[in-house]
Structure 1
Amino acid sequence: MRRKHFVLISLAGLACSVALILRKGRRKTVGGEWPVNLAHRGASSLAPENTIEAFRLAVEAGAGGLELDVHMTRDGHIVVIHDATVDRTTDGAGPVSEMTLDELRGFDTGHNFSPDGGPSHPYRGRGVRVPTLEEVLREFPGVAVNIDIKAGHPGIEAAVLGVLRDADALGRVLVVSTPHATVKRFRKVSGGHVSTGATKWEIGVFYLLSRLRLERLVRPAYDALQVPLRHRGIRVVSLRFIRAAHDRGVRVDVWTINQAGEMRRLLDLGADVIMTDRPATLAEVLKRRAESS
């Protein structure tokens, strides 16, 4: 029975690979060295996630890149926030897409954050607000930015591209999104001139083909495979997977890793980027590796 299931899955993967091979479209390789230390929503263990404060702490700790999430407000602004609503991360309530930027600015993004799980709220009432993507790009001009488009608002892909152009940031970003359709639309509006990550569907196809040692059938339209260590009990990141990705000129970015030992193991395997809530920990790991090499 297991053998039958494996054959069926393999055939499905091959069928999907044919679709990939037939896909045309341009791919822009990320220019220069993409930083290993990518701060997941900033230094989100130390400050409210996806805020200027968290991003500043991350950069000061040694992060070379920032991972963030974006939604679009009712009046068309691209804002940096993970959830579709403001409930979890602010003292407000309601969907981001139904608010104007001014309404969103009225909420305290530091209100709920507690580094110790509840007793203290060091950022409450200190004026921490949801930033726009434009503000983040201009505040950190020399930093790579990983942008995760979280919701398929009509026109969000073109709006994100417009912000990137206005900030002259096309060459230092990677755009990702879980829905395949969102990334497909972004690749179309950007003409393939902005680097993108693989979608969940593309990752699944590549994983299956790499297991069958058929990764050379893939002509990737993406620059990075952003994956967890495991998915539904299946190990994703392995030496074989990383080598297969590198064979196709694609990075492997692993999320979200906060333990120094796991960071070292992944770096030994050849992972290109590690997303972490603790950029200072990763910076220390990288420093010690450099000193011992």
Structure 2
Amino acid sequence: MTLSILVFLLLLAGGFPSEAIAQTVLPESRHTPLVIAHRGNHRKQPENTVASTKAAIQAGADYVEIDLRTTMDGHLVAMHDGSVDRTTNGKGLVKQLSWSEVQSLRVFNDNKRPHRVPDFEELLTVCKDKINIYLDFKEADVAETWRQIRAAGMEKQVVVYLNSIEQYDEWRLITPDVPLMTSLPDSIVNEDQFRDFLAHRSIVVFDNIRDPKLLAFAHQNGVQVWLDVQQAEESPDTWRPILSLGVDGMQTDHPAMLVRYLEGR
């Protein structure tokens, strides 16, 4: 039987068994747990900009979180919200604006220095060999995103966060190797349900597991847990309860401070 026929029959049968799911490898990181700069180091510079990305690198973070969307004419840009209203001097939905229109916008910031909305290619260049990317895949073209990641030689420096199960299918059609991350569904409350979920999806990181039994089960199955700790005010008192859970990563609004704390422990 040829490999292509075997794959086809497995798909007809409902997917690959758990032991056959592709085992992806996470990027290397300096810290344990690793540090993720939420929307870049955006307490220092405007979120999702080149400046906040460079500030995350300077802070020593392991990852910079980048939110990705597609313009009306198919250009990949960094923008958290569906619209540009909150963060720029413009109005409208990203998907209804052209790249030329988005380029003309200016991003709001405290020091009034001009910043612009960067495209994904520029951020890939800034990050290469300096920091990993936690790609919060909001609403973008999967094939074009992966093409740009490969063209930049960043295949081993990116983890993709999925916001829906439909995105999982799209990504796995394009590549079996990119590390995928998502939230564990609220309906999964025990190890048997968790095992079944992992048997059908190659997910290597979850961002919402706090139950000690499920967290231990994740670790037993080679799966990591990165929790969000970001808030306006953070301190060791904020982080200690999260660290006590034994998590593998923390997403923060204060990456430099968290890096100093972890390195000083």
Q: TM-score range by the shorter chain?
A: 0.7 to 0.9
Q: Does 1:247 align with 2:220?
A: yes
Deviations 1:63-110 (Å, cap 9, x if unpaired)? 12101100011221111110111000000001111222221011111x
Give the C-alpha shift of residue 21 in structure 1: 7.6
Q: Tell me the CA shift for residue 22 of structure 1.
A: 5.6
- Calculate the TM-score normalised by the size of structure 1: 0.76
Taking the TM superposition and a 5 Å limit, the aligned residue runs for 1:183-202 are 183-190=168-175, 192-198=176-182, 200=183, 202=184
* Alignment coverage as a number of residue pairs: 243
Structure 1 distance, partners of 2:213, 2:16, is 22
Letter matched to residue 28 of structure 1: T
Deviates more, 1:260-269 or 1:83-92: 260-269
How far apart, CA to CA, are the structure 2 residues paired with 1:159 and 1:171? 17
SS in 1 for 2:190: helix
C-alpha contact (below 8 Å) 2:38/2:230 kept by paired residues: no
Structure 1 stretches of 5 or more lacking a match? 1-18, 114-120, 228-235
Is residue 257 from structure 1 mapped to residue 233 from structure 2 by the alignment? no
Residue 127 (structure 1) shift: 2.6
The corresponding residue for 1:271 is: 247
SS at match of 2:180: coil
Aligned to 1:171: 156
- Summarize the alignment of residues 108-127 of structure 1 with structure 2, pairs less than 5 Å apart: 108-109=106-107, 111=108, 113=109, 121-122=110-111, 124=112, 126-127=113-114
Is 1:147 matched up with 2:143? no
Residue 49 of structure 2 contacts residue 116 of structure 2 at CA under 8 Å; is this kept in 1?
yes
Q: Secondary structure at the match of 2:189?
A: helix
Q: Which of 44, 54, 61 is 1:63 aligned to?
A: 61
SS of the counterpart of 1:159? Answer: helix
Helix, strand or coil at the partner of 2:58: helix
From 92, 100, 122, the counterpart of 1:135: 122
Task: Indicate how the Cα distance of structure 1 residues 248 and 241 shifts in structure 2: closer, same or farther if over 3 A, else same.
Answer: same
Q: 2:39 corresponds to which residue?
A: 41
Does the alignment pair 1:28 with 2:6? Answer: no
| Map of 2:93 onto structure 1 | 95
CA distance in 2, matches of 1:58, 1:130: 17
1:86–1:95 Cα contact (<8 Å) kept:
yes
- Using the TM superposition, give the Cα deviation of residue 28 of structure 1 relative to its aligned residue in structure 2, in angstroms: 1.4
Q: Give the equivalent residue in structure 2 for 1:5.
A: none
Distance 2:15 2:61 in 1: 34
In structure 2, the gaps of 5 or more residues are 1-13
Q: Post-superposition shift, 1:285?
A: 1.4
Aligned twin of 1:162: 147
> Could you tell me how far 1:25 is from its partner in structure 2?
4.8
- What is the rounded CA distance, in whole Å, between the counterparts of 2:29 and 2:62 in structure 1? 10
Q: CA 1:103–1:223 in structure 2 vs 1: closer, same or farther (change >3 Å)?
A: same
Per-residue CA deviation, residues 147-192 of structure 1 (Å, 9 max, x unaligned), is 01112x5xx11111111011111111111121110122112111x1
User: 1:117 corresponds to which residue?
Assistant: none
Q: How far off is 1:223 after superposition? A: 0.8
Is this contact kept in 1: 2:229–2:239, CA < 8 A? no
> For 1:90, what is the secondary structure of its paired residue?
coil
Partner of 2:10: none
Quote the Cα distance in structure 1 between the aligned partners of 2:262 and 2:41. Answer: 17
What root-mean-square deviation, in Å, do the aligned CA atoms of Structure 1 and Structure 2 show? 2.2
Match of 1:281 among 248, 257, 261: 257
Q: 1-side partners of 2:163 and 2:30: how far apart?
A: 21
1:238 correspondence with 2:211: yes
1:11 paired residue number = none
Identity %: 26
TM-score normalised by L of structure 2: 0.84
Q: Secondary structure at the match of 2:67?
A: strand
